[in-house]
Amino acid sequence: MAVDLSMPVLVVDDYKTMVRIIRNLLKQIGFEDVDEASDGVEALSKLKERQYGLVISDWNMEPMTGYELLKQVRDDSNLSALPFIMVTAEAKSENVIAAKKAGVNNYIVKPFNAQTLKSKIDTVFEA
């Protein structure tokens, strides 16, 4: 399945600069409809209000981490199939394994560029 560049994407990160970087990378790739949330709680609220085609979430956030957000998304029957990419500065194998077990579709380690982001998104939608 080809990536639909018109689908809404939700970027979740408590660091505004990172949100801006990811938003700019998504625009470089061709995505126009990019929304943002500053933590897992806000993201869950937005996910219940609107249908997104993809979530790109940071791992380390307060009060709800990206990992906790991922688990809640996978436990919600309306959201469980939503493609979810985790972004983190930590490349710890136990984190990658935990995220995979929780149902993450892909994983990106910071720093990354538009090409890396595009290839991770393409991989998610090829399945």
Give domain status of residue 1, yes or no: no
Q: What is the pLDDT of residue 9?
A: 98
Q: Give the pLDDT of residue 78.
A: 96
pLDDT tens-digit profile of 21-63? 999 999 999 999 999 999 999 999 999 999 999 999 999 999 9
Tokens linked to 110: 């910071």
User: In the chain, how many domains are there?
Assistant: 1
CA distance 67 to 98: 8
Residues 69-117: tens digit of each pLDDT = 999 999 999 999 999 999 998 878 899 899 999 999 999 999 999 999 9
Look up the domain containing 65 and give its range: 9-126
Distance CA 83, CA 1 (A): 13
pLDDT at 90: 80
* 2 falls within a domain: no
CATH number of the domain where residue 97 is located: 3.40.50.2300
Assigned token pair, 104: 């993450």
What is the model's pLDDT at position 127? Answer: 59
Distance CA 75, CA 73 (A): 5
Sign of CA dihedral 94, 91, 68, 117: negative
Q: 9, 104 in Cβ contact below 8 A? A: no
Q: Residue 45, CB half-sphere, CA atoms under 13 Å: how many?
A: 8
38 occurs within a structural domain = yes
Specify the pTM: 0.96
